[in-house]
Structure 1
Amino acid sequence: MLAGVVAGASVALFVLYGPDRLQAEGVPVEGMRPPDPFGALLLVLACAPLAVRRRWPLAALCAGLVPETLLNAMGYGTGVSSLSGMVLLYSVASYRGLAISLVALVLTLIAFVTGAAGGPAGVASWNEYVVVAVVMVAVWGAGRSLRLRRAYLEELRDRAARLERAHAADTRAARAEERSRIARELHDVVAHHVSVMTVQAAAARRVLAADPDLAREALSAIEHTGRLAMAEMRNIVGVLRTDSRPGARAELGPQPGMRDLPALVEQMREAGLATRLRVEGEPVSLPAGVDLAAYRLVQEGLTNSLRHAGAGAKAVVTVRHEPHELDVRVEDDGRGTAPGPQPTPQSTPQPAGHGWADGWGAAREPALPPGHGLLGIRERVALYGGILNIGPLPGGGFEVRARFPLKDGQ
């Protein structure tokens, strides 16, 4: 459409403003040729490349410069065909790189100078030629500015896409980390409460006929433990639930911590494991992560003592508060050190898949799928820069001990 409009306007002006009319209006026309079909054809050929300026800008410019140069050199009136040359130069500068656009500018200036030098004298002054050359350079600069702006916007879009992909990757990593955290929490909750319920159920079965009242107490303890387990699991996974109703909130509760150790010890006593809690040093306010990790370590250690230490076993939980360290230890005197070769205490991670047998001795089998409890404790302790030791004691029994570093007493 643009090529047709420019070509039509150029031919109309070429025909209407011939040498006779220009001379009547006082315009010098020395050496200017009158309109003829050949001149009109050159005008059309100079404007036609506008139709393909976006697909082949440099080729269109070269194709338009040839008839434009012939028009100037032969002394024809050019109408507005010079406008097509400006548009083609602008297209090359805005759609091609710097090197090609510079070539296009140089070719345009050369063609213009050639046509002006070879054309008839008196048609235009040199001042007008200089102005036209300056306009050409300005048009080229406008095209380059548009290309640079396009490149800048494209870079912004690409950067936004990269940031979006990075955000998506971070979201996936956060979700995976959260799933791992929830898996550790659920493992600790299920392993502990189910172990307690199993021991209490076995005790109730043994005394059901002989002492129904004692069996009833054991069943009540099982019910209470089950309710505790359900409540704690509901608190853990409640954040994953969504509700579209306005004002609806997930049922969240505080995570357990060192303040809950007395209740945990009392629960283990009711389950049949003689447990004693010792606290040394002045208790301080602990970071939430360390508080939960220490509690889970004690819970996991007592759970395994309950399952594997044997009847009549005793367990001692020792919590030592030091200025820059929290020392947590769970010891039992059970049958974990049965005769035979025993592994030495472990303080470094072992390959996954060995479960509690890695640090609890050959006589103890993992209560849940191998490796999850031990690896969960190692991950918790390592997350806060602590040191973990798990293994048999020289005089019999087993020990789980972790030392958490504290900064500035916390």
Structure 2
Amino acid sequence: MPFVVPRSADLPPATWAAYGLTTLTVVPLVARRRAPVAVLIAVLAAGALYRFTVDGPGQPLPYTGLVAFYTVAELSASRQRLAVAVLVLAAVFPSVAWNTGEARELLFSLFVFAAAYAFGRFTHTRKAYIRAMEDRARQLEVTHRIEAERAAAGERARIAREMHDILSHAVSLMIVQAEAGPVAVRTAPERAEAAFDAISETGRDAMVQLRRMLGVLREDAPGDTPSPRAPQPSPADLPALLDRVRSGGLEVTYAVTGLPRPLPAATGATVYRIVQEALTNVVRHARANRVTVELAHAPAELTVTVTDDGRGPGATTGLGLVGIRERAAAHGGRATAGPGPGGRGFQVFATLPLVTSPEGVGS
């Protein structure tokens, strides 16, 4: 202020020592976040030295002490805060007595230092809350990323099962028909024609199912014709599937017991795929003459049984059987594979819990 408004003529001019002490009450604040208690002691000591030794260039206000005390309240540990608060409280009384000694000044000093402490604690709480929210947001982001990766992995596994079931079944039937074709040409031409028709029908059906799946995966570009969204296969499609298997010379029996009822679309597709994969294994590996497919409807579950009279159990850990178990487990069910009744042939047995709420039943 003396550079702007000259001091009264009855006051001695301000000295460089006074300016230096004024500066010492401010400069320590640079380090207030690294050493808040030491900075508070330094600025209070500089203020006291200013008051008792020089007639400075202006009125020394306690702003720097308030800022330092606020920082102690924000950053220091509880023991340090309490010790510093007691020290400041003890310093307020002699400071006021040395200055005016009035109750007004005492109350004002106590109020402003208490407010500085309260604001420091409020800032500490607010920053802790913000950090907690940021940590929670990061954790949620990581959780969402993990869930997305798991969902993507599950979807890849589901697509792999679908592709395996469609291609394995179709190719197996086509191979059987193709191998029987040359023999039939020499012995029964009409059977050869039926075999070639079966190959063609099986290939077309596989192409339709693959096109349906790939159409769902592909994102339609603007202006493109929307990909077809045909429904997933269901138990209602099993007779056609069994007819294709019969065309290869295998005797297939189909039985439904219990009271059939509408199934959720996902459950119905799983039933179809389990039967399809079990029949594929029969065609490829069992060397069977007969196979029985049975759907047993119970109030709370549906069981699927595919039994053949072939050469009996071989490996039970192939991709197809693993896929059957995964499909059943995805609906809360289970699937087993092993010897048929009496140890003859091979049997696939799957149990699927049924959804009883109306929301879970597809049309």
Q: TM-score range by the shorter chain?
A: 0.7 to 0.9
1:163: how far off? 0.5
> In the alignment, which residue of structure 2 is the partner of 1:281?
258
> In the alignment, which residue of structure 2 is the partner of 1:402?
350
1:290 aligns with 2:238: no
> In the alignment, which residue of structure 2 is the partner of 1:105?
85
SS of the residue 1:16 aligns to: coil
> In the alignment, which residue of structure 2 is the partner of 1:16?
7
> In the alignment, which residue of structure 1 is the partner of 2:235?
258
Task: Choose the corresponding residue for 1:206, options 183, 192, 195.
Answer: 183
1:224: how far off? 2.4
Cα distance in 1 for partners of 2:206, 2:61 equals: 87
Output the amino acid matched with 1:184.
R
Unaligned runs of 5+ in 1: 1-8, 22-32, 338-342, 344-355, 359-369
Q: Is the 8 A contact 1:65 1:108 kept in 2?
A: no
1:201: how far off? 1.1
Mapping of 1:6-405 within 5 angstroms? 9=1, 16=7, 20=10, 37-74=16-53, 76=55, 79-117=59-97, 119=98, 123=100, 125-208=102-185, 214-245=191-222, 249-310=226-287, 313-334=289-310, 336-337=311-312, 356-358=314-316, 371-383=318-330, 384-386=332-334, 388-394=336-342, 396-405=344-353
User: Is the deviation greater in 278-287 or in 88-97?
Assistant: 88-97
Give the count of matched residue pairs: 356
Cα distance in 2 for partners of 1:94, 1:267 equals: 79
Measured against aligned partners, the alpha-carbon deviations of 1:70-105 in whole angstroms (never above 9, x if no partner) come to 233458466244222222222333344444444443
User: Is the deviation greater in 271-280 or in 205-214?
Assistant: 205-214
Cα distance in 2 for partners of 1:403, 1:130 equals: 81
Q: Is the 8 A contact 1:197 1:225 kept in 2?
A: yes
Residues 17/147 of structure 1: CA separation in 2 closer, same or farther (3 Å cut) = farther
1:177: how far off? 1.4
SS of the residue 2:326 aligns to: helix
Q: Is the 8 A contact 2:324 2:335 kept in 1?
A: no
Output the amino acid matched with 1:131.
F
Output the amino acid matched with 2:255.
R
Measured against aligned partners, the alpha-carbon deviations of 1:249-300 in whole angstroms (never above 9, x if no partner) come to 5543211111111101111111221212222333211233332222222212
User: Is the deviation greater in 63-72 or in 244-253?
Assistant: 244-253
Output the amino acid matched with 2:301.
E
TM-score w.r.t. length of structure 2: 0.84
SS of the residue 1:330 aligns to: strand
> In the alignment, which residue of structure 2 is the partner of 1:361?
none
Cα distance in 1 for partners of 2:68, 2:286 equals: 90
1:303: how far off? 1.7
1:165: how far off? 0.5
Cα distance in 2 for partners of 1:16, 1:398 equals: 111
1:247: how far off? 7.7
1:159: how far off? 0.6
Residues 44/111 of structure 1: CA separation in 2 closer, same or farther (3 Å cut) = farther
1:188: how far off? 1.5
Unaligned runs of 5+ in 2: none
1:235: how far off? 2.6
Cα distance in 2 for partners of 1:46, 1:229 equals: 86
Identity between Structure 1 and Structure 2 (%)? 38
TM-score w.r.t. length of structure 1: 0.75
User: Is the deviation greater in 174-183 or in 388-397?
Assistant: 388-397
Quote the RMSD (CA, aligned, Å).
Answer: 3.2
Cα distance in 2 for partners of 1:221, 1:179 equals: 31
1:401: how far off? 2.6
Measured against aligned partners, the alpha-carbon deviations of 1:15-55 in whole angstroms (never above 9, x if no partner) come to 8269x47xxxxxxxxxxx98555444322222222333344
1:13: how far off? 9.5
Cα distance in 2 for partners of 1:39, 1:404 equals: 90
1:137: how far off? 1.2
Measured against aligned partners, the alpha-carbon deviations of 1:289-320 in whole angstroms (never above 9, x if no partner) come to 33222222221222222223437x12222223
Output the amino acid matched with 1:132.
S
Cα distance in 1 for partners of 2:191, 2:129 equals: 80
Cα distance in 2 for partners of 1:90, 1:57 equals: 9
Q: Is the 8 A contact 2:257 2:294 kept in 1?
A: yes
1:65: how far off? 1.0
Measured against aligned partners, the alpha-carbon deviations of 1:176-205 in whole angstroms (never above 9, x if no partner) come to 111222222222212211110101111223
